[in-house]
Amino acid sequence: MTRSGIQVTHDIRDRFFALLESLSALRSLANLGQGVESEADLAYQALVQLVKHQNLAFCSIFFLEDDLLRCVAGTGFDEEHAKLSGQVQVSLAPDKSMHFSMDEGVIGLACQTGQLQYCRDCSTDERFKPFDYPAQQSVPGSLVVVPLQFGGEMMGVLNVSHPVPENFEPWQQHMLSLYGSVLAQMLHSYRLMNSLDTLVKQRTQQLQEALSESEAMREQYKRLSMIDGLTGLFNRRYFFPEAESQLSRSIRYEQPFSLLLLDIDFFKQINDRWGHQVGDNVLKSIASELQRISRQGDVVARLGGEEFIVVLPNTDIDGADQIAERIQAQVAQLEFEREGPKGITLCIGMTSLNDRSINHMELSRCVDILCKEADMAMYECKRRGRNQRLVFDENEICLLGSSIGP
């Protein structure tokens, strides 16, 4: 075979292997998969595969950000020396100051036109605008700039340079254009998935916030539904389940349990004489005193109208009478601005659990019986002339202590 024939054979062989390397680069790029952590990481991985399979001197990727093309990944002299030793290195954190506007140089032209730009000799091509290269780095001989665009979206450019002019043959340019197209599609897909993921996270967060707000509103409604709007005390809806809970605890630990039922004397006359606004103030003032006098663990509620009820856990009937006496004394001292009632009195019916057969009844039934007993004692107070406190007895209603006030 002649020398020229041998040379042609070698050229065909070299091009064949170059073609295989090009296909390997494309295949490696397409197989990057979903393991990338960011757009910059995808650019980094793309350059790794390109440098690995192609005999290229310098490569870089610029992303379009706010009308500026900024370098996000690239190779340099250190990487070139590493390649000579059989390694491949690509910088993921290049100099962020390296940027071009869309009307600068070959890079800007490729971005504006959306077409591959080829500088055969950068030293003579007027389109080429050199960056501030380090002293040891010479201006590239030839440069290929591939726009990264997909679906009408311009995302940036891929730059491939070589120190030798006229280095890139048409098939290499075509291969780089194809590589840029695949990379642009991957960037588009990544951004789409990332935007969808962001949207899902936003919607999920909004849903969680809506659910939290709904739960807060539900809890607020539940709380408000158990609070008396006028006095701020608990109402009947809260009182009876809570009284059952306290009673259950007292029975389980064999502790005393007492209950007070309070009614304001002559409350209708207060409303008739001074008006309902004054009557409301009286109710609120008595509620405030009950809250102040009550201990931790006591349950104070307004049953309705001028009636209040107090559960006294771990309190026998003597202790309940002392608390009732204190309540009567404090309420009698209440004063109101301008004209208003003075010396307000209460009738208080009292009862306690003791060791009776009701201990073995259902809790709700047991609470009902205790409330009825306190109610009977309270009405006996009314019958005896008001401003009284009486304790219910199974055999008879007996008076504990003496009445106070006029």
Which positions are catalytic? 306
Give me the residue label for tokens 């107070």: 381
d(C-alpha 146, C-alpha 180), whole Å:
6
141: DSSP letter: S
Give start and end residues of each alpha helix (H) in 128-253: 170-225, 236-252
60 φ, ψ (degrees, to nearest 5): -155, 160
67: DSSP letter: T
Q: Is 280 within 8 Å of 230 (Cβ atoms)?
A: yes
What does the DSSP assignment read for 310-360? EEEET--HHHHHHHHHHHHHHHHT---SSS---S--EEEEEEE--S-GGGG
Distances (CA, A) of 68 to 71, 92, 177, 185, 190: 10, 19, 22, 21, 21
Rg over alpha carbons for the chain, rounded to the nearest Å, is 45
Which amino acid, 3?
A: R
Look at strands 389-391 and 346-352 and give their pairing.
Answer: parallel
Distances (CA, A) of 91 to 46, 60, 74: 12, 9, 5
